[in-house]
Amino acid sequence: MSIQLPDDPYDAVVGLRTVRKYAPRPVSDEDRDAILEAGRWTGSAKNRQDWLFLVVDEPAVQAQLADCGRFSGPLRDARLVIVPIRLPGGYEFDIGRVSQNMMLAAFARGVGSCPVTMHDEACAAAVLGVPADHGVRYALCFGYPDDAAEKAARAGRGYGGRKPLDELIRHNRF
Ligand SMILES: Cc1cc2nc3c(=O)[nH]c(=O)nc-3n(C[C@H](O)[C@H](O)[C@H](O)COP(=O)(O)O)c2cc1C
């Protein structure tokens, strides 16, 4: 495990990058619970907390889930998967917030993460036994980083950059 932990929380917010290659050791119960606790404390519209956190750590289930997305390789290798389930009437915005908070909390504890899209949501619902009126669009992969494998996988392309701020900002009117 070798995430460079920033001293300043701001640096964690701007420094969070996806990790798709994970060391063999499982995520500790303490780190798993800290990640889930960060999810629990996320703010939501009207504080409705319209979510459930489905914890998946059976490789066979992870492999089935991986067949439900187009870019879901990390799901097979993850040491821990948390699927944020959106309850009926809940907002996808809240699921985004809860996901980011869990990934930031993981990062703060040296755990790498990657969100994965369940392009075939019905498939994910069937694999996990989630009722049809619940949302299961994303799964979050976690594990301590395997730096060498991550570097090799990123060879030639490195980390994605970001658009410059002056392309993103408008003042007062579009
Ligand atoms: C809504 C959303 C869906 C994503 N789906 C996938 C996915 O299906 N598979 C994957 O490997 N990464 C997925 N990602 C991760 C993005 O590819 C990643 O955040 C982006 O490339 C920036 O990566 P970086 O922060 O490491 O630069 C997803 C990210 C978001 C926010």
- State pLDDT tens for residues 10-43: 999 999 999 999 999 999 999 999 999 999 999 9
Residue of 16, 116, 136, 163 to test ligand 1 pocket, by largest number of atoms within 8 Å of CB: 116
Q: Which residues contact 117 (CB under 8 A, 6 or more apart)?
A: 69, 70, 71, 72, 137, 138
pLDDT at 1 over 60: no
Residue of 16, 17, 19, 71 to test ligand 1 pocket, by largest number of atoms within 8 Å of CB: 71
Six token digits for residue 37: 């606790």
| 74 CA from centroid of ligand 1 (Å) | 11
74 lines ligand 1 (CB under 6 A): yes
| 19 CA from centroid of ligand 1 (Å) | 10
140 lines ligand 1 (CB under 6 A): no
Domain positions in the chain are 17-147
What value does the mean pLDDT take over residues 116-140?
A: 98
160 lines ligand 1 (CB under 6 A): yes
| 40 CA from centroid of ligand 1 (Å) | 22
| Overall fold of domain 17-147 | NADH Oxidase (3.40.109)
Q: What pLDDT is stored for residue 13 in this prediction?
A: 94
φ, ψ at 139 (rounded to 5°)? -130, 145
| Angle formed by the axes of helices 92-108 and 29-40, nearest 10° | 140
69 lines ligand 1 (CB under 6 A): yes
Mean pLDDT of the chain: 95
pLDDT more than 70, % of the chain: 97
